[in-house]
Amino acid sequence: MSLQVAESAIQQAEHADEAGGGLWREAFRRLVRKPAAIIGAIFVAIFVIVAVFAPLIAPYSPTATDLSQIKGPGHIPGPSSTHWLGLDDLGRDVFSRMIYGARQSLVVGVVSMAFGMVGGIILGLLAGGLGGWVDATIMRFVDMMLAIPGLLFAIGIAAMLGQSLVSVMIAIGVVNIPVFARLLRGQMLAQREADYALAAKSLGVKRSRIILGHVFPNSLSPVIVQGTLTLATAIIEAAGLAFLGLSGADPAIPEWGRMLADTQKFLTSAPQLVFYPGIAIVLSALGFTLLGESLREALDPKNRR
Amino acid sequence: MSLLDVRDLSIVFSRRGRRDVRAVDEVTFSVAAGETVGLVGESGCGKSVTSLAIMGLLPKRGAAVGGSIKFDGTELTSLPADKMRGLRGRDIAMVFQDPMTSLNPVIPIGLQVTEVLRRHRDMDAAAASKEAASLLERVGIPDPARRLKEYPHQLSGGMRQRALIAMALACKPRLLIADEPTTALDVTIQAQILELLKELVVDSGTALVMITHDLGVVAGMCDSVHVMYSGRIVERASRWELFEAPRHPYTAGLLASVPRLDQARGEKLEPIPGSPRDTIPWTQGCAFAPRCRNRIESCTQGAPELVADKLRPDHDLRCFNPIDVAEQEAVTL
């Protein structure tokens, strides 16, 4: 009886082993064993859930003011049972504004990262795939972009495109293009020399197909990892640009960076107002960084069994 | 007429700021349909480069190919790239040394096999995947339908080499080049893979060029053997002839350095002294001379030519002072 149980358990184990899929599934299995990855994933999950379900979670509208709580000029009520994180200088519920702020940060982070990644992949693919003068031209262009400090570059672009959320996203995206382009190109150059590329060539597979079907998919994993890490920096950069007053024209829309900028004048009287958005920015960026770093480690062939 | 005719092949690698390297020189051999020919030599003797040249896989820049490579009457060295691509995989295929790295790790086996079929045999996806399964079956991979969906890392080394052989044979090529196909495998698997290659070659009448440093492989498979040293062929003969009466000191050295079952216990193996790096350019003399125990004065004064052996028929030799057949027999006895 117990022997049978043991046998079936062994069979199941063998089966589970065989059922394992490709590179990504294996990486996922390694990922769930890492505490850092799990902490990062929890932060990211909370952040995403809050952002997506903001209207359901937030107790008040982010723009509604409750002036009954303000007992005179310059009074900023702290946390209470009705307003968990207190009110800001205009009598708006901080907790609700924080929750809606997550939305802004997530949208800006994801869109600008995607913009940078797609742009970088196109440039990197052209450079790494075609080589020759195309490669040289694109890479010199990319070097030029890399030579300008990131935040300064983003400020320039955002200022040029005018104060709006879209221009912030484009600015952050453009700043990240060269990073993705260089990463993908370098990876593709290395993968092009791999044995399987030569083997495919020896079977008469067309060059375009070797590049797109064999070399490109093998070069993608570091780019995807970089994407996760870029999400973190994009959130920080978005907050930075908002802090500098370059994000949207409507001050009523809550945004962590802008909340930080607007409340810093109350640093002595109501320091909690600065503290909340600051912590939120740090934790969300930390979540993506932890997840990205663990993913990089999980995908690293050196760490494989 | 022979299927593959390599004549006076020379390959020179040049790089800016470095001296040119003549990796292959004066290499001439031919392979008839259905014949198995061995190219034997130590690492760095030019055997792999020769195979890459036949496949047209040498880099365009930095590698100058001289001489002629004729495949079924078509000159390959001057063939346009797109024509060559059409030939590769369909008429000439190659099996590489390391099955661990020769398969794309992020694509299932099935896709990699069907890719060839769709490229050269114009099959649609369904027909190609059916054919792929039967190909895997033919090379002895059990449960091929499941294996097709799996990724390379889920297969053992021997399985992967089988899959690679299946890919190479997918279009029934007329010439197969196997570049040390068993070097990266366990000894037990080696025998299976060699057996498989032999079987497939006999079944389909494919000509096989076997590139190896393993004389055991040669003994088991090849009809004729070309021994290379430092980019040139130094001895050529049929398998029996070569093993029975090696005339070039290098070949004899190779044979003596392999353990034999019929050797007396405790008898020492004889390595060839030095390494392939201890060489002199062929322009100055015989490249093997610094390591050769039969060296005479003329060996370092101009290179020997590859000529027919005076003592034995069907035996070519590039040596001023070959091993005496009589002496050889004395050694064996």
- In this prediction, what percent of chain A has a pLDDT beyond 70? 90
State pLDDT tens for residues B114-132: 999 998 988 888 999 999 9
Give the highest mean pLDDT range of A113-127, B83-97, B137-151.
Answer: A113-127
If you ran DSSP here, which 8-state letter would residue B61 be given? S
d(CA B271, CA B257): 5
Across the interface, whether the CB atoms of A199 and B96 are under 8 A apart is answered: yes
Structural fold of domain B4-222: Rossmann fold (3.40.50)
Contact of B330 with chain A, judged by CB distance below 8 Å, is answered with no
Q: What are A2's strand-pairing partners? A: none
Helix axis angle for B187-204 and B157-169, nearest 10°, is: 20
Task: Enter the ipTM.
Answer: 0.84
Alpha carbon of B333 to those of B88, B252, B326, B327: distances in Å? 48, 15, 11, 10
Only one residue has tokens 């990796």, namely B23
Q: What is the pLDDT of residues A22-74, one digit of tens each?
A: 667 778 888 888 899 999 999 999 999 999 999 999 888 888 888 887 777 77
How many A-B residue pairs are in contact by the CB < 8 A criterion? Answer: 77
Query: Which residue does chain B place closest to A213, by CA atoms?
Result: B107
For chain A, list the domains and their CATH numbers: 23-65+82-303 (1.10.3720.10)
Reported as type and span, the H/E element at residue B16 is: none
Q: Which residues of B touch A202 (CB under 8 A)?
A: 55, 57, 88-89, 93-94, 96
Residue type, B110: G
What the block records as the tokens of B13 is 């690698």
Q: Is the dihedral of CA A150, A156, A159, A162 positive or negative?
A: negative
DSSP string, B151-191: -GGGS-HHHHHHHHHHHHHTT--SEEEEESTTTTS-HHHHH
The string of pLDDT tens digits covering residues B272-306 is 888 877 888 888 889 998 888 888 888 888 888 88
Asked if the C-beta of B200 comes within 8 angstroms of chain A's C-beta atoms, the answer is: no
pLDDT (average), residues A259-266? 87
Bridge partners of B235, per DSSP, are B227, B317
The predicted-structure confidence for B25-61, as pLDDT tens digits, reads as follows: 999 999 999 899 999 988 888 898 999 999 999 988 8
Q: What's the confidence (pLDDT) of residue A14? A: 42
Q: What is the pLDDT of residue A86?
A: 84
Residue A18 or residue A112, greater confidence:
A112
Residue of chain B minimizing CA distance to A24: B106
Distance from CA of A192 to the nearest CA of B (A): 11
B94, B101, B153 ranked by CB distance to A202: nearest: B94
Taking each continuous run of H as one helix and of E as one strand, the counts in chain B are: 11, 12
């366990």: which residue's tokens?
B186
Rg (chain A; Cα; Å)? 24
Angstroms from A243 CA to nearest CA on chain B: 43
CB of A224 less than 8 A from some CB of B: no
In one-letter notation, the amino acid at residue A15 is H
pLDDT digits (tens, 9 = 90+) for B210-264: 999 888 888 888 999 999 999 999 999 999 888 888 889 999 888 888 777 777 7
Q: Is A131 exposed, middle or buried (0-12, 13-18, 19+ CB in 10 A)?
A: middle
Residue A218: both structure tokens together: 């093998």
Would you state the pLDDT for residue A230?
A: 93
Residue to substitute from A18, A25, A202, A299, interface B, most B β-carbons within 10 A:
A202
Extract the tokens encoding A79.
Answer: 């946390």
- Is B159 part of the contact surface with chain A (CB cutoff 8 Å)? no
More confident residue, A74 or B134: B134
Instruction: Output the DSSP codes for B231-253.
Output: TEEEEEEEHHHHHH---SHHHHH
Q: Which residue of B89, B106, B153 is in closest CB contact with A203?
A: B89
Q: What pLDDT, on a 0 to 100 scale, did the predictor assign at position A301?
A: 66
pLDDT for A249: 57
Question: Domain coordinates of chain B in residue numbers?
Answer: 4-222, 230-332
Tokens 């869109």 belong to A111
What is the C-alpha separation between A132 and A210, in angstroms, rounded?
A: 17
Q: Is B325 exposed, middle or buried (0-12, 13-18, 19+ CB in 10 A)?
A: middle
C-alpha dihedral, A213 to A219 to A224 to A226, nearest 10°:
-160
pLDDT band at A191, cuts 50/70/90?
very high
